[in-house]
Amino acid sequence: MKTIIKISALAIVALLMTSHRPNVDIRSSMVRFDQAFLPALEYTLRGDGHEAKRAVFYLEFEWRKLRSRLQHRYPEERQFLSRIDDWLGDAYFAIDANCPVTAANQLEHVKYEMMELRDRKGIDYYLDDLYDFQGGLEVLAEAAADEMLCLMEWPEFVALSDDLQREWAAIQQKPFDAALYEFDAGDVRQLRYQQQSMKEALDNFAKAVDSAQRDEIEQASQALEPAFGQVLHLFGNFDATKTYFAQRNNY
């Protein structure tokens, strides 16, 4: 409960610090939110409760800033904001109770709620391309590791593999707003490197699919999600998560 009490106090501070500036690109606040959100999600998926509890402070701070701006920009989205509050609150309780599976499920709901909001408002957001791709990739990797292909027909499985290759090629070719996502030249080079590594993992998987050999397909599938995880990892601010926790505990 100590964690929840600290988060509640933090929320009040965040609201006091946040100013309403309608001309600010709302995507900037969304980027800052995701910089805090991705570490919390990654730690939770790893089952690293210690780091997840530290990440919660930074996440809630950025959510309260984003929430204030969203409420000002889109007053009609009151129900959406309430849902995010509920999902995050449930995730915080689950993290505090050392229930990572439940917490990860709640955080995934937050991710998809944010994607749907951007879709409704016509907000172009690079991370949504990655999130969309991730959904298909998880289905493909799960089917590849299942002898019954998760009850998918073989042509359907092959088509999904082909679709994801095309989707990734489109992501690689899409212009990337480095300034918006606060990437310097080194970060961009790392992004391109990890994108290429993801492409190579997909190419190797496609070759395994062409062979139609179950053991080769399963083996090649094991590289898919780790390769994608390295791309997504670049968009989280893991240093700030730890620094912010330390600052809060010095008060």
Mean pLDDT of 30-59: 96
What lies within 8 Å, CB to CB, of 81 at 6+ separation is 67, 70, 71
Mean pLDDT of 178-182: 97
* One-letter identity of residue 137: L
pLDDT above 80 (res 181)? yes
SS3 145: coil
Sign of the torsion formed by the C-alpha atoms of 4, 242, 126 and 47: negative
pTM, 2 dp: 0.86
DSSP 98: T
Residue among 40, 223, 34 at smallest CA distance from 137: 223
pLDDT above 80 (res 109)? yes
Q: What is the pLDDT of residues 111-145, one digit of tens each?
A: 999 999 999 999 999 999 999 999 999 999 999 99
Residue among 207, 141, 128, 208 at smallest CA distance from 170: 128
CATH number of 126-233: 1.20.120
Q: What is the pLDDT of residue 208?
A: 96
CATH 1.20.120 location in the chain: 2-123, 126-233
Q: What is the pLDDT of residue 5?
A: 44
Q: What are phi and psi of 45, to 5 degrees?
A: -65, -30
Q: What is the pLDDT of residue 241?
A: 74
Fold entry, domain 2-123: Four Helix Bundle (Hemerythrin (Met), subunit A) (1.20.120)
The encoded tokens of residue 30 equal 């969304």
Provide the H-helix boundaries in 97-237: 100-121, 126-144, 154-173, 185-211, 214-221, 224-233
pLDDT above 70 (res 10)? no
pLDDT above 60 (res 243)? yes
- The mean predicted confidence, pLDDT, of the chain is 89
Q: What is the pLDDT of residue 245?
A: 53
pLDDT above 70 (res 23)? no
Q: What CA–CA distance (Å, rounded) separates 196 from 194?
A: 5
Q: What CA–CA distance (Å, rounded) separates 182 from 107?
A: 23
Q: What percent of the chain has pLDDT over 90?
A: 83
Mean pLDDT of 86-100: 97
- Chain position carrying tokens 């590791």: 145
